[in-house]
Amino acid sequence: MSLDDVLARIDADLPDATDRLLDLLRIPSISTDPAFKTDCDRAADWLVADLQGLGIDASKRPTPGHPMVVGHVGDSGPHLLFYGHYDVQPVDPLDLWDNDPFDPQIEDTAKGRVIRGRGSSDDKGQLMTFVEALRAWKAVKGDWPCRITFFLEGEEESGSPSLVPFMKENAEELKTDIALICDTGLFESKTPAIVTMLRGLLGEELTVTGPTMDLHSGMYGGIAMNPIRVLSGIIASLHDDTGRITVPGFYDGVPELSDELEAQWQGLAFDHETFLGDVGLSQPAGEQDRTPLEMIWSRPTCDVNGIWGGYTGDGFKTVLPSKAHAKISFRLVGDQDPLAIRESFRQVVRDALPADYEVEFSGHGASQASGADTSGDMFEAARKALSDEWQIPAAYIGCGGSIPIAGHFQQILGTEPMLVGFGKDDDAIHSPNEKYDMESFHKGIRSWARILDALS
* Residues 82-121 interacting with a second copy (rule: CB under 8 A): none
- Give the phi and the psi of residue 395 in degrees, each rounded to 5: -130, 150
Instruction: Output the CA–CA distances (angstroms, integers) from residue 145 to 136, 137, 225, 309, in the order listed.
Output: 11, 8, 69, 60
**88 by DSSP, 3-state: which?**
strand
Could you give the angle at the alpha carbon of 114 between the alpha carbons of 111 and 120, nearest 5°? 135
Residues 6+ apart with CB under 8 A from 184: 193, 195, 399, 403, 419, 420, 421, 423
| Selected range binding a second copy among 195-203, 335-343, 415-423, 444-452, rule: CB under 8 A | 195-203
The candidate with the shortest Cα–Cα distance to 238, out of 315, 344, 332, 333, is 344
Residue 94 or 219: the one with the smaller Cβ distance to a second copy is 219
| Selected range binding a second copy among 82-90, 291-299, 374-382, 386-394, rule: CB under 8 A | 291-299
- Binding to a second copy (CB under 8 A): which residues in 336-365? 354-356, 364-365
- Binding to a second copy (CB under 8 A): which residues in 130-149? none
- Binding to a second copy (CB under 8 A): which residues in 311-330? 311-312, 315-321, 324-327, 329
Size of the site for a second copy (CB under 8 A): 79
CB of 400 vs a second copy, minimal distance in Å: 4
Contact status: 246 vs a second copy (CB under 8 A): no
CB of 448 vs a second copy, minimal distance in Å: 26
Which residue in the set 7, 163, 180, 215 belongs to the binding site for a second copy (CB under 8 A)?
215
Q: How far is 190 from 55, CA to CA, in rounded Å? A: 34
CB of 312 vs a second copy, minimal distance in Å: 4
Contact status: 212 vs a second copy (CB under 8 A): yes
426: number of Cβ within 10 Å = 12
Instruction: Output the CA–CA distances (angstroms, integers) from residue 98 to 102, 107, 251, 282, 429, in the order listed.
Output: 12, 12, 48, 33, 15
Residue 168 or 190: the one with the smaller Cβ distance to a second copy is 190
Contact status: 387 vs a second copy (CB under 8 A): no
CB of 24 vs a second copy, minimal distance in Å: 27
CB of 159 vs a second copy, minimal distance in Å: 11
Residue 171 or 304: the one with the smaller Cβ distance to a second copy is 304
Residues 6+ apart with CB under 8 A from 343: none
416-420 and 178-181 beta bridge pairing:
parallel
- Binding to a second copy (CB under 8 A): which residues in 388-447? 399-402
Contact status: 202 vs a second copy (CB under 8 A): no
Residues 6+ apart with CB under 8 A from 408: 163, 164, 167
Residues 6+ apart with CB under 8 A from 266: none
Which residue in the set 93, 213, 274, 414 belongs to the binding site for a second copy (CB under 8 A)?
213
Q: How far is 19 from 243, CA to CA, in rounded Å? A: 51
Residues 6+ apart with CB under 8 A from 295: 284, 286, 287, 301
- Binding to a second copy (CB under 8 A): which residues in 247-276? 272, 275-276
| Selected range binding a second copy among 15-23, 34-42, 94-102, 203-211, rule: CB under 8 A | 203-211
Contact status: 159 vs a second copy (CB under 8 A): no
CB of 256 vs a second copy, minimal distance in Å: 16
H or E, element range at 84: strand 79-85
CB of 221 vs a second copy, minimal distance in Å: 4
CB of 92 vs a second copy, minimal distance in Å: 17
79-85 and 178-181 beta bridge pairing:
parallel
Q: How far is 195 from 198, CA to CA, in rounded Å? A: 7
Contact status: 334 vs a second copy (CB under 8 A): no
Which residue in the set 308, 360, 361, 377 belongs to the binding site for a second copy (CB under 8 A)?
308
